[in-house]
């Protein structure tokens, strides 16, 4: 692993940040589909930077494999960093809503239906009540999913920025 970092740090950063984003959003989907935790509207919105970021991260990995100019990989990593900072901001906002620091959006009562496929949408609308954005469905070590999103987004942004601003090897 150390040799991989020395040989191509851009690729290492791209692989690490892309794997991290895939793991985070995969975990969220696992909590939803395996664990039965139905996400609220803000939870669903917080996944968007990850969905977009994984694609951009894969493009960064590919650009380093194809030995495109390093600026291409760095710009893609910068895009990932910006997305993760946006995701961090969304997590801070959602955490503040959960802690009642500020009001949430009116869409806080709209969430996913969850359950097994196929879903009869009309039945689901009548039988499924999406959770409110103001209540954390689970807290681990005092943090809700939104709180953990703040930390993971910050860490992933830091990895991407490391890839962007690292000094070239001498």
Take residue 163 and report the two structure tokens written for it: 């890839």
Q: Which contacts qualify for 44-50: CB closer than 8 Å, 24 or more apart?
A: 44/111, 44/112, 45/90, 46/87, 46/90, 46/91, 46/94, 46/146, 46/149, 49/83, 49/84, 49/86, 49/87, 49/90, 49/153, 50/21, 50/22, 50/24, 50/25, 50/83, 50/87
Residue 32 forms part of a structural domain: yes
Residue 82 forms part of a structural domain: yes
Residue 130 forms part of a structural domain: yes
**What are the pLDDT digits (tens) for 65-104?**
999 998 999 999 999 999 999 999 999 998 888 888 877 7
CA contacts within 13 A on the Cβ side of 50 = 25
Of 104 and 139, more confident: 104
**Domain tally for the chain?**
1
Residue 80 forms part of a structural domain: yes
Please determine, for residue 132, whether its predicted confidence score (pLDDT) is greater than 60: yes
The confidence band for 34, taking pLDDT boundaries of 50, 70 and 90, is confident
Please determine, for residue 19, whether its predicted confidence score (pLDDT) is greater than 90: yes
Residue 84 forms part of a structural domain: yes
| Domain residue limits at 29 | 7-165
């Amino acid at each position: 692993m150390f040799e991989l970092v020395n040989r191509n740090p851009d690729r290492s950063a791209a692989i690490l940040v892309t794997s991290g984003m895939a793991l985070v959003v995969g975990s969220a989907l696992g909590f939803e589909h395996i664990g039965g935790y139905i996400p609220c509207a803000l939870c669903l919105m917080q996944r968007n930077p990850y969905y977009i970021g994984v694609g951009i991260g894969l493009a960064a990995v590919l650009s380093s494999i194809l030995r495109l100019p390093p600026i291409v990989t760095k710009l893609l990593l910068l895009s990932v960093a910006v997305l993760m900072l946006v995701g961090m901001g969304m997590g801070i906002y959602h955490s503040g809503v959960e802690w009642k620091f500020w009001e949430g959006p009116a869409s806080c009562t709209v969430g996913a239906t969850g359950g097994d496929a196929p879903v009869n949408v009309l039945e689901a609308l009548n039988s499924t009540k999406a959770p409110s954005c103001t209540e954390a469905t689970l807290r681990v070590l005092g943090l809700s999913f939104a709180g953990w999103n703040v930390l993971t987004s910050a860490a992933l942004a830091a990895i991407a920025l490391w890839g962007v601003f690292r000094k070239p090897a001498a």
